Each structure stands twice: as C-alpha cells, then as structure tokens.
Amino acid sequence: MAGYSHYPWSSSKDGATTGEAGKRSFLLSFDLKEKLVPQSHSYLIHSQKGYGPCFGMPGQTIDLSIGDKCNINASSICNIPYQYNKEGADKYKNNEDTLKLFMGFAGAKAYRVAEYEVFRVVY
C-alpha cells in the first residue's frame, strides 16, 4: 500500500488538510493494482504528533496511518474505505472482506509495519 500527498506533512504539529488543498492525494494498492481517491473534501491528510502520515482523520474516519514506533508495535491503522475509495459506481464497502483484500487478514485494523519508504517529489 502506498499513499501520496502534495500537501506537506509534519510530525511536530497537529493539523488537517481539508477542501481542495488535499484533493490530489491518493492511496495505491500495488497488490490489487488500484488507486483510491478522495470521496469528500474533509479530513484527507492529517498531521499529528507521534504519528507518521495519516490519510483520513485519526479516531474518526482513518483510512491509513503510520503510528509511532510502527516497527515494534501495532499502532498503525488500516480501515479502508472511509475518505478514500475507487472512482465510479463499483466502490469498496467498509467490511471484513475489504479489510482482508487490503491487509491480508480480517478482524484487527491495527498492524505493525515491517518497512516503509518516504520520497520527496520535486518538480
């Protein structure tokens, strides 16, 4: 799973990106070969102290987040889809089957991260 946002993210301050500022963000599933795009204008990207990038709003409608010390504890969250989903009429439902597609297992939405990479796109 990968996420992209042109909006700057910071681990040292709290803040949410809403409206048109976050509409270019998206999530990619490499396994499913699908792009998930924002479905609304609210809570698209979120910065929060002690967390890595958050797509959606922690504690409410989080789609994907990287938690603090994500390699040693299950503080990261995947709860697709809330704010991000496929384009068109054939959308994912927020249920156990969808979690199994994205996470490889159903049930718990929290996970431990084995590896992640952060890239800065300069254009």
- Top-confidence residue, 123 or 2: 2
What's the pTM?
0.79
Averaged confidence pLDDT in the chain: 78
Residue 19: pLDDT over 60 = no
Residue 71: pLDDT over 80 = yes
Arithmetic mean of pLDDT, 69-77: 86
Residue 79: pLDDT over 80 = yes
Burial call 20-31: b when 16+ CB within 10 Å, e when fewer: eebbebbbeeee
Cis peptide before 58 (omega within 30 of 0): no
